[in-house]
């Protein structure tokens, strides 16, 4: 009998931000395939005897290919039982969810999607700011800072990202930020636009840097470090 897959969003890394449904699925899983950022204390909820398989992908590090991860997930499901695919943040936000859903659909494997606290929302909460400011921030936009090659996506809508009335959150953008920032300023974004670098949100290594878009470009041009991070910029509250 084919098993059942639960795609579980684990939030940013703090186990206290897991949903009750996420904890329930971990406790009942026969196997857990987890990303790097979903490991550590979160795996304490997996039941004794469950297979724990790391399949995380990190920029700049040797990582399993996506087709390998999808194939492994289907192979586990075909053995029967309950499988948890544990992804950081919310799996539907730049989490390569679609490829794995398609693999399950093509293999006739049933699944469910359990949302998690998005890392962008957790970052704003950790910093102590809202993502929207009344009368100032008219919208929020989430964008990725790199494509499958690790480069700035060539079809990025720069005009939208340079909108001074939007609060923008860039995922996986430390490496490409200096280039993106230069392009944004060429399109009219003031260099003194407030910006925040939020690293390792929800973990003991959390570190927040308040700066400007130009200041962060200078910082990241000199050193990007190894911590996962988000870049927030625009009409950010200063509370």
Name the architecture of domain 119-233. 2-Layer Sandwich (3.30)
Q: Of 21, 57, 179, 227, which one is the catalytic site residue?
A: 57
Write out pLDDT tens, residues 186-208: 999 999 999 999 999 988 899 99
The pTM of this model reads 0.89
Asked if 57 is an active-site residue, the reply is yes
Q: Does pLDDT of 152 surpass 90?
A: no
Asked if 172 is an active-site residue, the reply is yes
Nearest to 87 by CA among 158, 9, 15: 9
Asked if 35 is an active-site residue, the reply is yes
Q: Of 14, 87, 163, 172, which one is the catalytic site residue?
A: 172
For 92, phi then psi, to 5°, come to -85, 0
Q: What is the CATH number of domain 4-114?
A: 3.40.1010.10
Q: Of 35, 90, 163, 174, which one is the catalytic site residue?
A: 35
Distance CA 102, CA 107 (A): 9
pLDDT of 136 reads 75
Half-sphere CA count of 168, side-chain side, radius 13 A: 26
Segments making up each domain of the chain, as ranges: 4-114, 119-233
Q: Region 14-37: what's the mean pLDDT?
A: 95
């Amino acid at each position: 009998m084919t098993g059942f897959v639960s795609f579980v969003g684990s939030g940013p890394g703090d186990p206290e931000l897991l949903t009750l449904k996420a904890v329930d699925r971990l406790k009942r899983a026969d196997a857990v395939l987890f990303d790097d950022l979903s490991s550590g204390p979160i795996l304490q909820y997996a039941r004794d005897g469950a297979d724990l398989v790391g399949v995380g992908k990190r920029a700049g590090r040797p990582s399993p290919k996506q087709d390998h991860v999808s194939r492994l997930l289907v192979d586990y499901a075909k053995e029967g039982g309950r499988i948890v695919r544990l992804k950081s943040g919310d799996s539907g936000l730049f989490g390569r969810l679609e490829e794995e859903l398609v693999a399950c659909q093509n293999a006739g494997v049933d699944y469910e999607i359990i949302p998690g606290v998005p890392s962008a929302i957790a970052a704003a909460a950790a910093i102590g700011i809202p993502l929207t400011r009344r009368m100032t921030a008219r919208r929020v936009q989430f964008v990725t800072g790199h494509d499958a090659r690790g480069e700035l996506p060539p079809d990025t809508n720069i005009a939208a990202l340079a909108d001074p009335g939007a609060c923008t959150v860039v995922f996986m953008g430390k490496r490409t930020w200096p280039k993106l920032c230069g392009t944004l300023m060429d399109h009219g974004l003031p260099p003194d636009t407030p910006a925040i670098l939020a690293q390792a949100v929800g973990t003991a290594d959390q570190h927040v840097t308040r700066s400007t878009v130009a200041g962060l470009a200078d910082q990241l041009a000199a050193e990007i470090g190894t911590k996962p991070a988000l870049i927030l910029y625009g009409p950010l509250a200063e509370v």
